[in-house]
Amino acid sequence: MDPLFDFTGKVVLVTGGSRGLGYAMVKGFAERGADVIIASRKLENCEKVADEVRALGRRALPFSAHCGRWADCDALTEAAYDTFGRVDVLVNNAGMSPACPSHEMPESLFDSVVNLNFKGPFRLASQIGWRMSQGEGGSIINISSTGALMALPGVVPYGAAKAALNAMTVSLAAEYAPKVRVNTISAGPFRTDATKGWDEEGVSKMKLPAGRLGQPPEIVAAALMLASPGSGFTTGGLLRVDGGQR
């Protein structure tokens, strides 16, 4: 195994890790030696993924958490440290982007979107980032969206929350330096469970230079790179994995 991508003995926490991009990243890290904490709302789904990780010879902790709630984020953090003693890599991946006209959006839906896409990631990154800074350091990777960088009518709170996530990345990278690196992956449209209903006409209207949606495994290389010691001089950065979407 390339030593730059050997995560043997490392502990990786992935939110939204039971499906889609999160699942791909869980498997990507586990296949390269990492022990993994899989967090999502449904424990049963987390346990299935944990079984796959254990089949690779790695340790796994499935954990049910609503990652938009501080209490759940704190419980997840405590469980991770109680079980493994540390977290080396945090991937803030959980998110939601329900479509709703801005003038019709209820406060409860607005709060849910902002909580899951920004408030929860802030809580996890701040609590785990602080612990990392007091120990051997680590890497935090925030999964954002091109929706933070371009007009996204119909899902305005989602794009705004992801823009806040991008800004958070830059500030936390400075706050917990030099031991902790914090970076963003700005993901474009990927073919996941959430997009399985998209038709080809809708995809073509996105005018993606790549000519297609991304596949979940294609985000893994970006996450591995940002988590690797080989990217030790990369922090506060934003890496676009979006098929050229502008």
CA 126 to chain centre: 15
DSSP state of 214: B
Please give the C-alpha separations between residue 165 and each of 4, 67, 121, in angstroms, as whole numbers. Answer: 27, 14, 8
* 95 contact partners, CB below 8 Å, separation of at least 6: 16, 116, 117, 143, 145, 158, 162
Q: Which of 23, 81, 158, 176 is catalytic?
A: 158
Residue 200's SS3 state is helix
Q: Please indicate whether residue 23 is annotated as part of the active site.
A: no
CA 127 to chain centre: 16
Please name the residue ranges forming H helices in the chain.
Answer: 20-30, 43-55, 70-84, 107-114, 120-134, 156-175, 200-204, 217-227
Residues designated as active site? 158
